[in-house]
Structure 1
Amino acid sequence: MDLFSSSNAALSSSPLSEILRPKNLDEIIGQDKTLGPKSKLGQMLRKGYLPSLIIWGPPGTGKTTFALALSQHFNAHFENINAVDAGAKVLREVGEKGRDRRLQFQQKTVLFVDEIHRFNKAQQDVLLPFVEKGDLVLVGATTENPSYELNRALLSRCRVVVFERLSEEDLSKIVLRAETHYKKPLERILTKDAINNLLEYSDGDARRLINSLEILYNFTKDQEDGERLDVNDMRELLQQNPLGYDKSSEMHYDLISAFIKSVRGSDPDAAVYYLARMIDGGEDPIFIARRLIILASEDIGNADPRAISVAVSGLQAVEAIGLPEGAITLSQVTTYLACCPKSNASYMALNNARALVEKTRTQPVPLHLRSAKTALAKDLGYGRDYRYPHNYPTGWVEQNYLPEELETGPLYEPTNRGFEKNIRDYLNWMKGQKPEK
């Protein structure tokens, strides 16, 4: 049996992503600022110091590749798990095996955790002692801000590394490696415009580029010289979204964030621009409609009480008619909400009330407000001395509604904007009334 030919055959049948995957730190593309020989972390790693790391960056920037190269550089055992699938039992087993490896063979164990932001507190607590004792070198990958998602104890034992989206120059280096592997320049199978479009479509995502290159080279391997794919051919072959929109990517979160902030900031032009990008990029219109309902209460509230009705009607309309016509409804709702007066007073009132409940816990409901449905309840004084507001000329009577021992200022403080000004005036009027006997 020819071991060398067997090895080459296995390599040739591997996905292009595995064939092009960097084998060491120096082969990693696009993160020189963070990992290069002149960077502080790069120098630490090359001097033999391996800390636990949290890698924060967009998809396709080389987080998994870096973890693999790291383990090879330090001759460490490599464990790869996904935060969604790994329970406490699995994590404990990995940690115990890492401890045995360290004590028996003096070998490090690199534990790569993809989507580490999905770890709950219990999972993080299981990992912590193994990381503290050096049984595991944790390398976590996340597209979310780790300071929001990981607890302080674990985060304090890790160095946060920021990976950046790859530049067009970086992507061109990947193309060059693919050309070397296939022994054919990309310009022999794609027009110049198609190549430029491919780099633009990849949007700094090495994984997307490599997967596209693999499809393109395999599709055109029997193609005659001079026969090249143009932009439309390539888009059809790759089933390419012209806007490069991926609902699971960072762009999804960035666009919905910009959209909501534009509506909140009363800029209808910016809001409808981001709406168009999401709709034409393939975003779920129901997701957008639901976010608008949340915004109507959180950011407009009683400044325009009609906003919530408009938003709910928008969701119902989109559910009834779908796309493409549903996009018109979303545009109407978006522009209406963007042009409404804004108030977060209702949202803040809820936060204030929750903070008060957390601080004071369970205070007894005043007797006069309790339900007196039974004879025993009446005998105990439930409902006694309750004043029914409609029995008074103004429809209002001074009465204590909060628990007696509860001391607090206003929880709901309406603004002077929109309809909420009327509410504020009414509350001020009540405060100025003389108590009725």
Structure 2
Amino acid sequence: MSRTSHSGNAPGTSLFAAANKAEPLAARMRPERLEDVVGQQHLLGAGKPLGDAIRNGTVGSVLLTGPSGTGKTTIASLIGRYTSQTVVVLNAVTDGIPRLREIVMEAERRLDHEGRRTLVVVDEIHRWAKSQQDALLPHVESGVISLCGATTEVPAFAVVGALLSRCRVYALRPLAVDDVAQVITRALHDHSKGLGGRGLMASLETTHWLAEQCDGDARRALGALEAVATTLGDGAAISVDALSAALGVRVVAYDRVDVDRNAVLSAFHKSCRGSDPHAALYWLARALLAGEDPQIFLRRLAAIATEDIGLADPDALHVVMTAWEAFRRLGPAEGERAVAQAAVYCATAPKSNRLYLAWKDARDAAQHTPSLPVPAHLLNSEMHLRADEARRVPYQYPHDFPGAFVAQAYQPDELQGRTYYRPGPFGEEKRIAQRLAWWAERGGPPLEGDPPSTV
């Protein structure tokens, strides 16, 4: 459902009519002045672009991105208040293009008859389809409306490029524990909008505990505080046990659709690549506690085994695939330990990306030389007989020679001497380098790589 309010420069009625005591505590406590916003001084402090633009009334269209409960809706409200615009709030879940058309018609009338601009706040803008987001473009571009989009997603992934290019993007940070504690304390002592008239008491330790449990989400903290307050008499003390019951099970911040999954997977991969098994286990546990499918991580471990470990430890891929099979047979409970075992193995294995680079170089060479003929001596017997007589070089069977090796051409003539795989100095690749060097001394492909390490 959309909502409209008329905002001015001076603090007054909030965007969501905060004076209405039937509203949730978090809505009533929404700041009405920039200086009352906590935790986003990197955006709103003196000399910061967004804060100065709001104070000067020159904001334009913006996209606000950040976790839940960090102040996106509050800042949208303040933009309307400080820029003297009429604020219309659209919810991307319930409102669509028909409602947008109505808002644009009202905005045009308002601009023509009152000289007053309209700020359209689209909450959860990432939930709008591309066609719906495109519908905003001409009106934002013409200046009939200004846009303030709010999203918990990465804007580059969630907002169409044309709209993104017409907005300034500001990233809100999760609130620090002290910031959330300040919000809780303010709500306990505020007589006009908060719980100040109840005389409820909370120790510093209790306030800090609640702030710590909410993972930077002020809305969640105020929700738990309000839930406990409804069960207590005036003047009562708020306990950690009561707050814990109100919060319920602490949910791991994790979205399996887009941002959190990609971020955690990236952190997990980089931890394994960086040889930190402790961090790898932590990120794995974070995701699995949130209900992620362990096979997502097994697929990533298989990629790590070939991309970051390669032939420095050929057993890494075998360990991962065995863990995958164990997980399928054992199920989530016992099977998760197999996933953890594979993660620790890959994190502590010697690292080499030489196979990854070799495959990339070989693919590039094949892509640029797709028509080079196979050397005649490598053809099968029938094809060899069909080749030009000048090309009928006899194939030499390596097992007929000492060491099962004989120098002969295996690549097209134009690529002779080209190397792709250059072994590194660690793990099994050190021994591979020794074999390649032995073959190179006998006329084989040149060895290109680091000298064997003593590590």
Q: CA deviation at 1:305?
A: 1.1
Q: CA deviation at 1:306?
A: 0.8
Identify which of 225, 248, 261 aligns with 2:255. Answer: 248
Three-state SS of the structure 2 residue aligned to 1:245 is coil
Match for residue 342 of structure 1? 351
Match for residue 210 of structure 2? 198
Identify which of 355, 360, 363 aligns with 2:370. Answer: 363
Match for residue 88 of structure 2? 78
**Pair 1:182–1:141, CA change in 2 (3 A):** closer
Match for residue 110 of structure 1? 120
Is residue 61 from structure 1 mapped to residue 70 from structure 2 by the alignment? yes
Q: CA deviation at 1:111?
A: 5.3
Contact 1:79 1:110 in 2 (8 A): yes
Looking at CA atoms only, which structure, 1 or 2, has the larger radius of gyration? 2
Any idea what the Cα deviations from partners look like across 1:161-191, whole Å, max 9, x if unmatched? 2322223343234324543445358984767
Match for residue 41 of structure 1? 50
Equivalent residues in 2 for 1:147-162, closer than 5 Å = 157-162=166-171
Q: Which moved more, 1:91-100 or 1:12-21?
A: 91-100
Three-state SS of the structure 2 residue aligned to 1:59 is coil
Identify which of 326, 330, 351 aligns with 1:317. Answer: 326
Contact 2:18 2:29 in 1 (8 A): no
Q: Which moved more, 1:345-354 or 1:127-136?
A: 127-136
**Pair 1:320–1:232, CA change in 2 (3 A):** farther
**1:430 & 1:128 partners in 2: Cα distance?**
64
**1:109 & 1:232 partners in 2: Cα distance?**
43
Matching residue's letter, 2:225 = L
Contact 1:68 1:78 in 2 (8 A): no
**1:367 & 1:92 partners in 2: Cα distance?**
64
Three-state SS of the structure 2 residue aligned to 1:325 is helix
**1:50 & 1:246 partners in 2: Cα distance?**
31
Matching residue's letter, 2:88 = F
Match for residue 165 of structure 1? 174
**Pair 1:225–1:207, CA change in 2 (3 A):** closer
Match for residue 310 of structure 2? 301
Contact 2:354 2:422 in 1 (8 A): yes
Q: CA deviation at 1:199?
A: 0.9
**Pair 1:303–1:386, CA change in 2 (3 A):** farther
Three-state SS of the structure 2 residue aligned to 1:78 is strand
Three-state SS of the structure 2 residue aligned to 1:364 is coil
Match for residue 3 of structure 1? none
**Pair 1:45–1:236, CA change in 2 (3 A):** closer
Q: CA deviation at 1:343?
A: 1.0
**Pair 1:113–1:235, CA change in 2 (3 A):** closer
**Pair 1:293–1:185, CA change in 2 (3 A):** farther
**Pair 1:143–1:224, CA change in 2 (3 A):** closer
Give the structure-1-normalised TM-score. 0.71
**1:354 & 1:130 partners in 2: Cα distance?**
47
Three-state SS of the structure 1 residue aligned to 2:67 is coil
Identify which of 183, 198, 208 aligns with 2:220. Answer: 208
**Pair 1:22–1:8, CA change in 2 (3 A):** closer
Matching residue's letter, 1:320 = R
**Pair 1:298–1:434, CA change in 2 (3 A):** closer
**1:153 & 1:408 partners in 2: Cα distance?**
49
Identify which of 256, 264, 270 aligns with 2:273. Answer: 264
**Pair 1:416–1:227, CA change in 2 (3 A):** same
Three-state SS of the structure 1 residue aligned to 2:175 is coil
**2:233 & 2:426 partners in 1: Cα distance?**
69
Q: Which moved more, 1:197-206 or 1:424-433?
A: 424-433
Structure 1 residue runs of 5 or longer lacking an equivalent are 1-6
Matching residue's letter, 1:57 = G
Q: Provide the aligned C-alpha RMSD in A.
A: 5.0
Contact 2:76 2:148 in 1 (8 A): yes
Structure 2 residue runs of 5 or longer lacking an equivalent are 1-15, 445-455
Q: Which moved more, 1:274-283 or 1:69-78?
A: 274-283
Contact 1:387 1:397 in 2 (8 A): no
Contact 1:95 1:127 in 2 (8 A): no
% same residue? 32
Aligned residues: 414
